[in-house]
Amino acid sequence: MSAARRRRGVARALVLAATLATACGHDEARAPRWVIACLGDSITYGTTRSSRGTIPGERDPLGGYPGRLARRLGPGVQVVNRGIGGATTEDWLRNPGGADGAAVWSLLPGLWPDFGRPEVPAGATSVARAVAVLARPDVAIILLGVNDLFVSRSQAHAVADGVAERLAALRRDVLAVAPHVLVATVLPSRRDAPAAVDRLNTAIRTGEPDYLPLAERFAAGGWEHLLGDDVHPNADGYELLASVVAEELHRRGLDGRDATTR
């Protein structure tokens, strides 16, 4: 090979390397620097109206409060929706390596298009921890409990404290993976007994001093007009929740504004 051809080859290699370096730098600049994972039930998933018979349920077109939160926080933040319709705290605490937990795990790819079909991470003894390991969030938000009360509606008031204990266990489990985990108070509804909801929220406030006050703000916003059915928020309700979560994250310095590249 002539010296001229060698020089041209070296030049092309340098141009290619510079192009790749620029592209990689551009990708890094655009990649989300802050990840927020929202764990919950159908309220997190974004259901606005429950299914009845063969009629499919309706979902908020903007993705419930997580989707609306993402739009508020901008492209530097990735908000991951991990809502499971009908889920209880017990479902999220199930070991994905066991029969019941494996049944929950098998549902997730159909619920979350971005989830794929991953293997259960090694050492993950709960669905919550396994999901957190895969999402690697900087902040995890847990909004759960109303389905526990509904399942035990004949004695919901009596089981509320146990639900709060399971929420605390979920927080500890996810905190092993995520540096910040916030538990939210559960929303008022036409379905669940107010006394049971109040007892659960009192237990959450007592056990979680840094709780997210979603119930309080939802009630103050006129909750009866913020529901699409007896329990799920409508579009206005989800917009209010997204606004409250964004405000509370900002107040704690957890909205990703000052995050460095991961």
DSSP 8-state assignment for residue 77: E
Q: What's the pLDDT band for 7 if we cut at 50, 70, 90?
A: very low
Worst-scoring range by mean pLDDT, 28-37, 93-102, 166-175, 195-204? 28-37
User: How far apart, in whole angstroms, are the C-alpha atoms of residue 3 and residue 7?
Assistant: 6
- 125-148: average pLDDT: 98
User: How far apart, in whole angstroms, are the C-alpha atoms of residue 78 and residue 35?
Assistant: 5
Q: What's the pLDDT band for 91 if we cut at 50, 70, 90?
A: very high
Q: What's the pLDDT band for 257 if we cut at 50, 70, 90?
A: confident
User: How far apart, in whole angstroms, are the C-alpha atoms of residue 190 and residue 41?
Assistant: 17
Worst-scoring range by mean pLDDT, 9-18, 31-40, 72-81, 153-162? 9-18
* DSSP strand pairing (34-40 vs 77-83): parallel
* Interior angle at CA 172, CA 167 and CA 178, nearest 5: 115
Sort residue 145 into left (φ over 0), alpha (ψ -120 to 50) or beta: left
- Checking if the pLDDT of 6 tops 70, the result is no
Q: Write the CA distances from 154 to 42, 138, 148, 157, 158, integer angstroms.
A: 22, 38, 11, 8, 9
> Over the chain, what is the mean pLDDT?
88
pLDDT score, position 93: 98
pLDDT score, position 5: 43
pLDDT score, position 14: 32
Q: What's the pLDDT band for 232 if we cut at 50, 70, 90?
A: very high
- What tens digit of pLDDT does each residue of 234-252 get? 999 999 999 999 999 999 9
- What tens digit of pLDDT does each residue of 110-135 get? 999 999 999 999 999 999 999 999 99
- Checking if the pLDDT of 50 tops 80, the result is yes
User: How far apart, in whole angstroms, are the C-alpha atoms of residue 112 and residue 198?
Assistant: 31
Find, among 252, 237, 75, the residue nearest to 143 by Cα.
Answer: 237
DSSP 8-state assignment for residue 153: G
